Amino acid sequence: MIMAIDLGSSSFRAAVFTADGQLCSETLVRQSVTATTASDGTMTYDAAALMRCLTRVISRTLRLADRQGYTIRGIGISAMMHSLLGVRRTTAGSPHAGAPTTPVFAWGDTRSETERETLVEYFNRHRLYAQTGCPLHSSYWLLKLAWLRRHLILREWQWMSFPDYVWWQLFGVFGTSLSMASATGIYARPQMDWDETILAYLGLERHNLTPIVPDNWALPGTALQPRFKNRWPQLQSAYFFPALGDGACSNLGSLCLPEHQAAVNIGTTAAVRVTLPKRGEPEEPPPGLWVYHLDRQHVLVGGALSNAGNLLAWGRRTLRLPPPAILETKLQIAQDTGLTVLPFLAGERSPGWHPQATGIICGIRMSTRPADIWQALLEAIALQLAWIVSELEAAHLLPQPTRFIVSGRVASSMTFATMLCHVLGRPTYITSTEVSARGAALWVSRQLGWATNNSLPAGIWLQPNAAIHNHYRKRLEQHRATYQKLVQIWSMP
């Protein structure tokens, strides 16, 4: 059996899976985590609090696994991407377990956008978008570290992601996966290593960052620090594998390897990703998209939205909507609400990455109902995902036979799932399975040399209607035109 741990931005989860990726649902444990946010763009977590949450979900899942007689042989981790924290180095040059830490800066912490103008020329001159695969944006480490340099002496700290911090706490050693490193914005794709040009600019040495480990690197449970070894004796015979990014795990769990299947995940945020063999890696990312590495044989190309489940949570709080079952009956596919929503309440990532983007609802009249606005919010998410798909198609990275495997919150509304299928215009498979956790489990199974299952997680296929798809293509054109008009306003001095 395999324990999969999913470190998300809104909850931590742990569960046991079989070697072929079947969830043992009686072992699933979930605990919410909440970021500290503020109007200045703050979005942070407390590292110690997150660590306590993680150990609790592991302990609770182990108790449930013990009741079933399960023996854990491997542990895989799916982790939120782009998190950054620093651990203070001692005068001897290395951090210790009790060293002070910075907060965990999350993807949505936008305070470092103040560094953008300073870095634009440098970023473009060194062609760092092509080199790193990541746009110049506050989601990534480059802007954050440039901003932190104004407050700290960077070389006096050890910089890492939160899952790297977890690894250090558990084992007392540092190591990060290629998957996590490639989504930082300071990683060189051609060398598959930290970018020396960026390190020199920031005044950092390689020892200030976590070493990138081989794909099959793992540590046994016997190597756990004493307090965790004593707490989890059931894991003595298990192997722990470093975290992969949740996007990589989502593609693995959805079986979206290079087999004409692309992954769409809708959680707090949303993303579209295709997996390519390393030999097919584009020299430059398609406009507005990114390129990450899944491992040394595969790359991920796609785009991410900062607004999805969080946007819908805002809508539920704000619109005084009827209960979900009643609301579902009020939604109608391809109904023209007269509204165009630019859903950038949490800022914008793909496709424009505009630092000044805000949420806007155009077309409101006295006759507009809350259900109309809700439907427009759903449509905006679908259209934004379709915009990313159109960029992948333009780059010839999404062949016509490609189908979409959709996971996440979309499964709770069949109307939204059907709308998304028509908007994307391709066969779409809808699953409510925890695909990121499943992907982490399948990764461990593969590394341990166990047989894996090539069947999709439980779900249903939907087929698009050509006429409705054409309707949404026109809506996407209107959406993009509205966006371009607003870019002009956002760009005004």
For the record, the structure tokens of 1 come out as: 């059996």
Residue 398 lies in a domain: yes
Classify residue 418: in a domain, yes or no: yes
**At which of 207, 242, 277 does a domain end?**
242
247 in any annotated domain: no
**61 burial type by CB count under 10 A (0-12 exposed, 13-18 middle, 19+ buried):** buried
CB 236 within 8 A of CB 222: yes
The pLDDT, as a whole number, for residue 444 is: 95
In a domain, 171, yes or no: yes
Same domain for 408 and 288, yes or no, is yes
Residue 490 and residue 384 share a domain: yes
Q: Report the chain (493 residues): mean pLDDT per 10 consecutive residues.
A: 94 93 92 92 94 96 94 95 92 75 93 91 91 94 96 93 95 95 96 95 94 95 94 94 95 86 92 94 94 96 93 91 85 83 91 89 92 93 96 92 88 88 94 90 92 79 94 93 88 72
Provide the token pair at 220. 């046994």
Q: Are residues 279 and 365 in the same domain?
A: yes
Q: How many domains does the chain have?
A: 2
> Rounded CA gap, 199 and 185, in Å?
11
Token pair recorded at residue 97: 């377990």
User: With the C-alpha atoms ordered 135, 138, 139, 140, is the resulting torsion angle positive or negative?
Assistant: positive
Rounded Cα distance between 229 and 60, Å, is: 16
The reported pLDDT for the residue numbered 322 is 87
Check whether residue 357 and residue 430 sit in a common domain: yes
Within a domain: residue 99? yes
Answer yes or no: are the C-beta atoms of 413 and 379 closer than 8 Å. Answer: no
Q: Parallel, antiparallel, or unpaired: how do β-strands 43-45 and 104-105 relate?
A: antiparallel
User: 446 — phi, psi (to 5°)?
Assistant: -65, -45
Contact assessment for residue 460 and residue 326, using Cβ atoms and an 8 Å cutoff: no
Q: Within a 13 Å sphere around the CA of 262, how many CA atoms are in the beta-carbon half?
A: 26
Per-residue model confidence (pLDDT) at position 209: 96
Q: Are residues 230 and 133 in the same domain?
A: yes
Q: Is 460 exposed, middle or buried (0-12, 13-18, 19+ CB in 10 A)?
A: exposed
- Residue 8, domain member (yes or no): yes
Is 227 in the same domain as 287?
no
* Cα→Cα distances 391→121, 386, 394, 397, Å: 25, 9, 5, 9
Confidence (pLDDT) at 134? 96
Shortest CA distance to 265 belongs to which of 108, 81, 5?
81
Domain containing 228 equals 2-242
Residues 268 and 407 grouped into a single domain: yes
Q: Is 288 exposed, middle or buried (0-12, 13-18, 19+ CB in 10 A)?
A: middle
- Of 213, 242, 271, the position where a domain reaches its end is 242
DSSP 448: T
Pairing of strands 244-245, 74-79: parallel
Query: Are the CB atoms for 448 and 74 separated by under 8 Å?
Result: yes
Whichever domain contains 106, its CATH number is 3.30.420.40
Segment 92-97 long-range contacts (CB within 8 Å, at least 24 positions apart): 93/207, 94/158, 95/158, 95/168, 97/169, 97/172, 97/225
Give the domain-ending residue among 186, 217, 242: 242
- On whether both 197 and 332 belong to a single domain, the answer is no
Instruction: Mark whether 358 and 493 lie in a shared domain.
Output: yes
Phi, then psi, of 239 in degrees rounded to 5? -110, 130
**Is residue 248 assigned to a domain?**
no
3-state DSSP call for residue 239? strand
In a domain? residue 467:
yes
Same-domain pairing of 8 and 97: yes
Question: Same domain, yes or no, for 258 and 238?
Answer: no
Pair (153, 259) in one structural domain: no
